[in-house]
C-alpha cells in the first residue's frame, strides 16, 4: 500500500508547508470557569466543555486526536487502533489492541430481530440514515444494560456500536436493493467488514486500505453538531443508544454529514467540467450554498480534504466517467475558492471529496452519510464518555425577544 502512504505523506507535507502564521486560537489550555467568550448565532464561539480527545485548529488547518496529527494516524494507524486511542487516550500495546479487537469481534453478530425491523420498514423509500437511527434505537431496546449510565456500562455499549454500525450500514445498503444481509467474517477488520457487509464480496487490499483511511479521517472533529447533540442527550443521563440515535439524526442533515451525498448530486447536476463556471455563476445569483464547501471552524484548507482529494484523483483516473466527475469537482473547487474563498475563506471540507472516493469504490450515494456514521461513532462515544466522567447537564439559555405582559384575551373576543 505504498502508493497510499506516499499520497498521505505528500498531503501532510503540503499542509505543513502552507500552514498559516495565524495565532493559536484561545482556549487550548486549562481554563477556570466561568469563561469569558463572545457567542454568536449557532453558538459560534461558545465553549461547551474541556476535552483531551481532539483538537481542530481552524486557522492552521490542524486536526489532532489525543495529541496525534491525523496525517500520521492516516499513514500509520488503523480504524480499530484510532478508535481505541479516542476512547482510552493512548495508543494500545499489542495486547491491548488484540483484546479490543476480540471485544469488537464478540459483537460481530447482529440480532436477527434488528434485520427483521429493517425488512419491515419501507426500506427503499427511507433515507438510510433514518433506517440506521431506528436500528440503533432497536438495539438499545433489547440491551438490558442500556439504562445503566455508568462510564463502564456505556463504554461497553460504545464498543458494541463501533462493531455493529458498519454491519447495520451494510445490511441497509443491501436490503434497499432486495438483497439479503451477509454473515460477517471473523477475520475482517472494521473497514473490510463494512465493505463486505455492503457488497457481499471480499474487498481487495487497496479498497480496504482506502476505506480504513476514510474511517480514520472521519472519526472525530471537535464540537461539531452531531457530537454536541450526542453529548447533550447523554448529559441528561439518558442512555448511550438514545444519545447515538440523536447524533445520527444530526449527522444526516445536509449542512453537516449529509453534505457528502449532496456533493455528488451537485456534481451530477453540473454534468461535465465545462459546465462548472456557468453553474457556479447561477448558484451565486440564486444565493445557493455550494455543498462540500465552508466550515464553521476551518478558515484554512481542511486537512481531511487534503488526503481525500488526491485519493479521489487516484481512484478515478482509470475510468473516463469517474475522471470527468473528478475533473468537475476540481473545476468547482477552483471556481468556489477563487469566487468566494478569498473574501470568505471558504475551502473544500471533508465532504467534498469523500463522496467521489466512495463512488469510485462502487458505493451508492445514499450510503455515504451512513459510512460517515460508522466512523464518527468512535468520536461521539469517546466524547460522551469523557463528559459523563464529570457530568453536568447541558442547559444554555435563549435570548427572549417576545413581549412579557400581554393580557389574556377570551376566545369570544379574539
Ligand atoms: N457556499 C456558499 N456560501 C457559503 C458556504 C457555501 N458552502 N459556506 C459558507 N458560506 C457563506 C455564508 O453564507 C456566509 O456568508 P455571509 O457572510 O454573506 O452571511 C459566509 O460564507 C460565512 O459562513 P460561516 O459563518 O462560516 O458559515 P456557518 O458556520 O454558519 O456554516 C456550514 C458552516 C454549515 C458548514 C456552511 O459553510 C455550509 O452550509 N456549507 C455547505 C454544507 C456543507 O458542506 N456542510 C458540511 C460541513 S463539514 C461537516 O459537517 C462534516
* Closest ligand 1 atom number to CA of residue 225: 50
Cβ of 346 below 6 Å from ligand 1: yes
Cβ of 372 below 6 Å from ligand 1: no
Q: What percent of the chain has pLDDT over 70?
A: 97
Cβ of 290 below 6 Å from ligand 1: yes
* Beta pairing partners, 348: 293
Q: Are 361 and 319 in contact (CB under 8 A)?
A: no
Q: What is the 3-state secondary structure (H, E, C) of 193-217?
A: HHHHHHHCCCCCHHHHHHHHHHHHH
Protein residue closest via CA to atom 36 of ligand 1: 294
- Going by pLDDT thresholds of 50, 70 and 90, the confidence category of residue 17 is confident
Residue 101 has what pLDDT? 98
pLDDT 10s digits, 126-163:
999 999 999 999 999 999 999 999 999 999 999 999 99
Residue 19 has what pLDDT? 66
Q: Which residues contact 52 (CB under 8 A, 6 or more apart)?
A: 66, 89, 386
pLDDT of 341 > 70? The answer is no
pLDDT 10s digits, 349-397:
999 999 999 999 999 999 999 999 999 999 999 999 999 999 999 999 9
Give me the mean pLDDT over the 17-30 stretch. 68
Cβ of 45 below 6 Å from ligand 1: no
Residue 295 has what pLDDT? 93
Residue 22 has what pLDDT? 59
- C-alpha closest to that of 395 among 56, 44, 43: 43
pLDDT of 212 > 80? The answer is yes
Residues 350, 316: Cα–Cα separation, whole Å: 18
Cβ of 11 below 6 Å from ligand 1: no
All three cell numbers of 329: 469537482
Cβ of 350 below 6 Å from ligand 1: yes
Mutate to test the pocket of ligand 1, among 218, 290, 294, 380 (most ligand atoms within 8 A of CB): 294
Cβ of 257 below 6 Å from ligand 1: yes
All three cell numbers of 127: 433515507
Q: What percent of the chain has pLDDT over 90?
A: 90
Give me the mean pLDDT over the 208-216 stretch. 98
* Closest ligand 1 atom number to CA of residue 299: 26
Residues 137, 243: Cα–Cα separation, whole Å: 9
Give me the mean pLDDT over the 256-277 stretch. 97
Residue 32 has what pLDDT? 86
Between the alpha carbon of residue 46 and those of residues 36, 49, 90, 230, 393, the distances in Å are: 9, 9, 28, 17, 16
pLDDT of 119 > 90? The answer is yes
pLDDT 10s digits, 215-235:
999 999 999 999 999 999 999
Give me the mean pLDDT over the 281-298 stretch. 94
Residue 342 has what pLDDT? 67
pLDDT of 27 > 70? The answer is no
Fold of 2-258+362-388: Citrate Synthase; domain 1 (1.10.580)
226 by DSSP, 3-state: which?
helix
Q: Where are the domains of the chain?
A: 2-258+362-388
Residue 353 has what pLDDT? 98
pLDDT of 24 > 80? The answer is no
Cα-to-centroid distance, 297 and ligand 1 (Å): 10
- Going by pLDDT thresholds of 50, 70 and 90, the confidence category of residue 21 is low
Protein residue closest via CA to atom 45 of ligand 1: 255
- Going by pLDDT thresholds of 50, 70 and 90, the confidence category of residue 20 is low
Residues 213, 375: Cα–Cα separation, whole Å: 10
Query: Quick one: which H or E segment has residue 358?
Result: helix 350-360
* Beta pairing partners, 65: 54, 68
Q: Are 244 and 162 in contact (CB under 8 A)?
A: no
Residue 23 has what pLDDT? 59
Residue 44 has what pLDDT? 94
* Closest ligand 1 atom number to CA of residue 349: 48
Residue 1 has what pLDDT? 67
Protein residue closest via CA to atom 10 of ligand 1: 294
Cα-to-centroid distance, 367 and ligand 1 (Å): 23
**Cis before residue 250, ω within 30 degrees of 0?**
no
Cα-to-centroid distance, 296 and ligand 1 (Å): 7
- Going by pLDDT thresholds of 50, 70 and 90, the confidence category of residue 16 is confident
Cβ of 188 below 6 Å from ligand 1: no
Give me the mean pLDDT over the 311-315 stretch. 98
Cα-to-centroid distance, 215 and ligand 1 (Å): 24
Q: What is the pTM of this model?
A: 0.96
How many residues belong to the chain?
414
pLDDT 10s digits, 170-197:
999 999 999 999 999 999 999 999 999 9
Cα-to-centroid distance, 175 and ligand 1 (Å): 34
Amino acid at each position: 500500500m505504498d502508493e497510499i502512504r506516499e499520497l498521505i505523506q505528500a498531503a501532510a507535507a503540503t499542509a505543513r508547508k502552507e500552514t498559516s502564521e495565524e495565532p493559536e486560537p484561545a482556549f487550548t489550555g486549562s481554563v477556570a470557569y466561568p469563561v469569558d467568550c463572545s457567542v454568536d448565532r449557532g453558538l459560534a464561539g461558545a465553549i461547551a466543555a474541556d476535552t483531551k480527545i481532539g483538537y481542530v485548529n481552524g486557522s492552521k488547518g490542524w486536526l489532532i486526536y489525543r495529541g496525534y496529527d491525523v496525517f500520521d494516524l492516516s499513514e500509520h494507524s488503523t480504524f480499530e487502533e484510532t478508535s481505541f486511542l479516542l476512547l482510552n487516550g493512548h495508543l494500545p500495546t499489542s495486547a491491548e489492541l488484540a483484546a479490543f479487537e476480540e471485544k469488537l469481534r464478540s459483537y460481530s453478530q447482529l440480532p436477527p430481530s434488528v434485520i427483521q425491523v429493517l425488512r419491515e420498514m419501507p426500506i427503499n423509500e427511507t433515507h438510510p440514515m433514518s433506517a440506521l437511527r431506528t436500528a440503533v434505537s432497536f438495539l438499545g431496546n433489547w440491551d438490558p444494560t442500556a439504562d445503566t449510565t455508568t462510564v463502564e456500562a456505556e463504554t461497553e455499549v460504545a464498543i458494541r456500536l463501533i462493531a455493529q454500525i458498519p454491519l447495520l450500514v451494510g445490511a441497509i445498503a443491501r436490503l434497499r436493493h432486495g438483497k439479503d444481509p451477509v454473515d460477517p467474517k471473523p477475520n475482517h477488520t472494521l473497514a473490510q467488514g463494512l465493505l463486505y457487509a455492503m457488497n457481499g464480496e471480499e474487498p481487495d487490499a487497496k479498497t480496504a486500505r482506502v476505506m480504513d483511511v476514510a474511517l480514520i479521517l472521519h472519526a472525530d472533529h471537535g464540537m461539531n453538531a452531531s457530537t454536541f447533540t450526542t453529548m447533550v442527550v447523554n448529559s441528561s443521563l439518558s442512555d448511550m443508544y438514545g444519545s447515538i440515535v440523536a447524533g445520527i439524526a444530526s449527522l444526516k442533515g445536509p449542512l453537516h454529514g449529509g453534505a457528502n451525498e449532496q456533493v455528488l448530486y451537485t456534481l451530477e447536476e453540473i454534468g461535465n467540467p465545462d459546465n462548472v463556471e456557468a453553474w457556479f455563476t447561477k448558484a451565486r445569483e440564486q444565493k445557493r450554498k455550494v455543498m462540500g464547501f465552508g466550515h464553521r471552524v476551518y478558515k484554512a484548507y481542511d486537512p481531511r480534504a487534503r488526503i481525500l482529494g488526491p485519493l479521489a484523483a487516484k481512484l478515478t483516473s482509470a475510468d473516463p466517467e469517474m475522471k470527468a466527475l473528478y475533473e468537475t469537482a476540481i473545476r468547482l473547487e477552483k471556481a468556489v475558492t477563487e469566487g468566494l474563498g478569498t473574501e470568505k475563506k471558504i475551502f473544500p471540507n471533508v465532504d467534498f471529496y469523500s463522496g467521489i472516493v466512495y463512488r469510485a469504490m462502487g458505493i451508492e450515494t445514499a450510503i455515504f452519510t451512513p459510512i460517515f456514521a460508522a466512523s464518527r461513532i468512535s468520536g461521539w462515544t469517546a466524547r460522551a464518555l469523557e463528559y459523563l466522567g464529570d457530568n453536568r447537564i447541558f442547559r444554555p439559555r435563549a435570548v427572549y425577544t417576545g413581549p412579557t405582559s400581554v393580557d389574556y384575551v377570551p376566545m369570544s373576543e379574539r
